[in-house]
């Protein structure tokens, strides 16, 4: 697994588990939420309010997750996470009332942190720090198919099964497919020594920021990532309802399905021609594309071509964003303690974005879809300024390295 190039077996297998992790624990929720709300006597705002609380709790646990990733290895954490996810989905499906359902949904979102990108990126870094940036790009390329696969698959399953039965099938996927893969990868990293105590010096990646620049850069990076996570969380959970609310009817699901291939296209393009683009430039590109896509949708209303442009451009931006959440921290702060860095970043991102599903559902219900989109886009452009400021900070660090270290 520690050959001279990309650890392909790990990347391909993690691609499978990321599709399962995001598909079963995240993308499926918006399809199943109306039935959940009906069964428990909740409004649309109520069901997404529960999701927001679950995401918030998940964010609060992220720093501890980062510590354990560095301490026992990301592979072990992901193995445990797959088991917890399976049990949580089963408990959620068997919930007799909304109180128990709410508690089990919190556990679902906590388990998601154990198996999704934050942990997977850390595992990639622990396996091969020296090629981690390229490995992360390949991993996100594969995982980009999660929404493309699970939105229609969940819809088809839900046409024949209750949401409880769908969750039981999803539990089986986490338990019987994802968990054995994560266990095998954890055994491999234990044999080959992924932790900071055993990684050879030649494999350690050194960050470009130091001293005060590191602290300021971290804050700016967290702001940028948090804003983008807010946009991603708000839009993806409500993608199909937003398009339907603009008058696109039955074509909403078809247009929304373009998001997934667009994510993959942006990652594939970056893999082919963007290899020399540093993560910070990619972050800038993503931070411009995502709110710009929302502006296009707000202006186009029920015009199908505008909605298609939105789905494609938002997918392109979100695809790049997923890459830089793993590669930018590595570039700026290095591989040493990468798990803890990711845990702190995840916490800030999830805590801020936790309110997004509920907030957008509430605003859409009382102010309409277009005004909601306009406000969301305006907030999104704050990320552009944050990453621009990191660019200035990085330039200063290169010009005056001693001053930055003081």
State whether residue 400 is helix, strand or coil: coil
pLDDT digits (tens), the chain, 406 positions: 444 478 899 999 999 999 999 999 988 888 899 999 999 998 877 888 888 788 888 878 877 888 888 888 899 999 999 999 999 999 999 998 999 999 999 999 889 989 988 899 889 988 888 788 888 888 988 887 887 788 789 989 999 999 999 999 999 999 999 999 999 999 876 545 444 443 444 456 666 776 778 888 888 999 999 888 888 877 877 777 777 777 766 676 677 767 778 877 888 887 776 666 788 899 999 999 999 988 888 888 777 788 788 888 988 898 888 888 888 888 888 777 788 888 888 787 777 777 776 777 777 777 777 778 888 888 889 999 999 998 888 777 665 555 444 4
Q: What is the pLDDT of residue 198?
A: 39
Which of 2.40.50.140, 3.40.50.620, 1.20.1250.20, 1.10.10.10 would CATH assign to domain 8-405? 1.20.1250.20
Q: What is the pLDDT of residue 189?
A: 64
pLDDT digits (tens, 9 = 90+) for 331-364: 888 777 788 888 888 787 777 777 776 777 777 7
Alpha helices in 161-258 (DSSP H): 163-173, 179-192, 212-237, 239-243, 251-256
> Residue 206's beta-bridge partner residues?
334
> Residue 334's beta-bridge partner residues?
206
Please, which residues have CB within 8 angstroms of residue 211's CB and are 6 or more apart in sequence?
404, 405, 406
Contact 188, 79 (CB under 8 A): no
Q: What is the pLDDT of residue 197?
A: 40
Instruction: Tell me which residue of 237, 278, 245 sits closest to 398, measured CA to CA.
Output: 278
Q: What is the pLDDT of residue 196?
A: 42
Whole-prediction pTM: 0.75
Q: What is the pLDDT of residue 142?
A: 87
Per the listing, tokens 């972050």 go with: 283
Distance CA 113, CA 121 (A): 12
For residue 334, report the phi and psi dihedrals to the nearest 5 degrees: 85, 175
Structure-token pair, residue 195: 């932790």
Q: What is the pLDDT of residue 406?
A: 43
Phi-psi region of 200 (alpha: psi -120 to 50; beta: other; left: phi over 0): beta
Distance CA 10, CA 59 (A): 26
HEC string of the chain equals CCCCCCCHHHHHHHHHHHHHHHHHHHHCHHHHHHHHHHHHCCCHHHHHHHHHHHHHHHHHHHHHHHHHHHHHCHHHHHHHHHHHHHHHHHHHHCCCCHHHHHHHHHHHHHHHHHHCHHHHHHHHHHHCHHHHHHHHHHHHHHHCCHHHHHHHHHHHHHHHCCHHHHHHHHHHHHHHHHHHHHHHHHHHHHHHCCCCCCCCHHHCCECCCCCHHHHHHHHHHHHHHHHHHHHHHHHHHCHHHHHHHHHHCCHHHHHHCCHHHHHHHHHHHHHHHCCCCCHHHHHHHHHHHHHHHHHHHHHHCCCHHHHHHHHHHHHHHHHHHHHHHHHHHHHHHECCCHHHHHHHHHHHHHHHHCCHHHHHHHHHHHHCHHHHHHHHHHHHCHHHHHHHHHHHHHHHHHHCHHHHHC
Q: What is the pLDDT of residue 370?
A: 76
Give ∠ CA 165-145-357 in degrees, rounded to 5.
65
Please, which residues have CB within 8 angstroms of residue 102's CB and are 6 or more apart in sequence?
50, 53, 54
Q: What is the pLDDT of residue 200?
A: 44
Distance CA 283, CA 300 (A): 26
Structure-token pair, residue 17: 């588990």
Q: What is the pLDDT of residue 405?
A: 46
Distance CA 375, CA 381 (A): 10
- Give whole-number Cα distances, 8 to 2, 135, 169, 191, 292, in Å: 10, 8, 28, 17, 35
Structure-token pair, residue 391: 């660019």
């Amino acid at each position: 697994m520690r050959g001279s190039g990309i650890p392909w077996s790990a990347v391909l297998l993690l691609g499978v588990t990321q599709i399962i992790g995001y598909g079963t624990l995240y993308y499926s929720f918006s399809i199943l939420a109306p039935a959940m709300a009906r069964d428990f006597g909740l409004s649309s705002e109520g069901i997404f309010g529960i999701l927001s609380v679950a995401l918030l709790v998940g964010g609060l646990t992220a720093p501890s997750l980062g510590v354990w990733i560095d301490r026992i290895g990301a592979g072990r954490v992901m193995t445990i996470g797959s088991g917890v996810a399976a049990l949580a989905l089963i408990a959620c499906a068997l919930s007799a009332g909304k109180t128990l359902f709410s508690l089990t949904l919190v556990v679902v979102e906590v388990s998601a942190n154990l198996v999704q990108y934050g942990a997977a990126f850390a595992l990639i870094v622990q396996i091969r720090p020296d090629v981690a940036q390229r490995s992360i790009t390949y991993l996100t390329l594969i995982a980009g198919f999660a929404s493309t696969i699970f939105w229609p698959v969940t819809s088809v399953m839900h046409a024949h099964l209750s949401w409880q039965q769908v969750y039981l099938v999803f539990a089986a996927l986490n338990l019987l497919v994802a968990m054995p893969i994560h266990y095998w990868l954890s055994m491999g990293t234990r044999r080959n020594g992924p932790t900071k105590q055993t990684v050879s010096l030649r494999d350690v990646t050194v960050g470009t920021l130091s001293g005060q620049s590191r602290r300021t850069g971290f804050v700016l990076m967290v702001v940028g990532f948090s804003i983008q996570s807010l946009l991603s969380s708000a839009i993806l959970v409500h993608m199909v309802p937003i398009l339907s609310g603009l008058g696109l009817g039955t074509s909403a699901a078809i247009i929304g399905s373009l998001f997934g291939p667009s994510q993959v296209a942006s990652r594939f393009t970056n893999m082919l021609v963007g290899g020399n683009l540093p993560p910070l430039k990619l972050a800038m590109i993503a931070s411009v594309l995502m709110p710009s896509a929302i502006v296009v949708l707000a202006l186009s209303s029920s015009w199908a071509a505008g909605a298609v442009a939105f789905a494609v451009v938002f997918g392109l931006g979100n695809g790049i964003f997923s890459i830089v959440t793993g590669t930018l921290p590595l570039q700026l702060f290095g591989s040493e303690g990468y798990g803890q860095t990711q845990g702190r970043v995840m916490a800030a991102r999830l805590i801020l974005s936790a309110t997004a599903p509920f907030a957008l559902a509430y605003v859409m219900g009382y102010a309409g879809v277009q005004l909601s989109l306009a406000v969301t886009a305006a907030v999104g452009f704050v990320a552009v300024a944050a990453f621009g400021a990191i660019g200035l900070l990085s330039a200063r660090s290169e010009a005056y390295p001693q001053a930055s270290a003081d």
